[in-house]
Amino acid sequence: MGATVDLSILNFVVHGAEGAPPEFVMEVTDKTRADVKGGTLIDYENRLMLLEIAQVPKDYVDEFKSVSKFRIFNTNNLWVRLDAIKRVVEKNELEMEVIVNPKHLERGIDVIQLETAAGAAIKNFKGSCGRLISILWKHIALKESRF
């Protein structure tokens, strides 16, 4: 797709803004009504966590899809410090939820897909944050200055 590195994000990961640099940065963007299948960042028990739609109880899906309540959307662009990954893995501290995602196949078979979202690792790292990027629409194609 021809993506390039956004040096401002790289600089943020290396040096931080105020204090220690973050170990994990998730690029997020403003959520639109079309952004219904992905995830958003939430503060849960004083930890930044990724919440995917497949984890939301059916009674709350419409609320999850709300662009006013959940305003940001995970782009799946993740920046993680290698020294932090090494520490978390060596200490066996990488906690990842398994998402149970029921599916119905074209052949009429119901299956359960088990998945883990890479962005869910955000809760395991110090100083984790979401970094808002701007995405511009031009015609039908998604355009962003790094692509």
Tokens coding 98: 């398994």
Task: Give me the torsion for CA of 29, 116, 98, 87, rounded to 10°.
Answer: -90
Quickly count: other Cβ atoms within 10 Å of residue 118's Cβ.
Answer: 13
Contacts of 26 (CB under 8 A, 6+ apart): 41, 50, 74, 75, 77, 78, 79, 119, 122, 128, 129, 130, 131
Residue 138 pLDDT:
38
Residue 122 pLDDT:
97
- Domain boundaries of the chain, sorted by first residue: 7-143
| DSSP per position, 38-70 | SEEEEEETTEEEEEEGGGS-GGGHHHHH-TTTS
Residue 144 pLDDT:
45
Contact 115, 103 (CB under 8 A): no
Q: What is the pTM of this model?
A: 0.81
Residue 133 pLDDT:
81
Domain with residues 7-143, CATH architecture: Alpha-Beta Complex (3.90)
Residue 2 pLDDT:
62
How many alpha carbons lie under 13 Å from residue 6 in its C-beta half-sphere?
17
Q: What is the mean pLDDT of each run of 10 residues along the chain (147 residues)?
A: 79 87 93 85 92 92 90 93 97 95 94 95 94 58 42
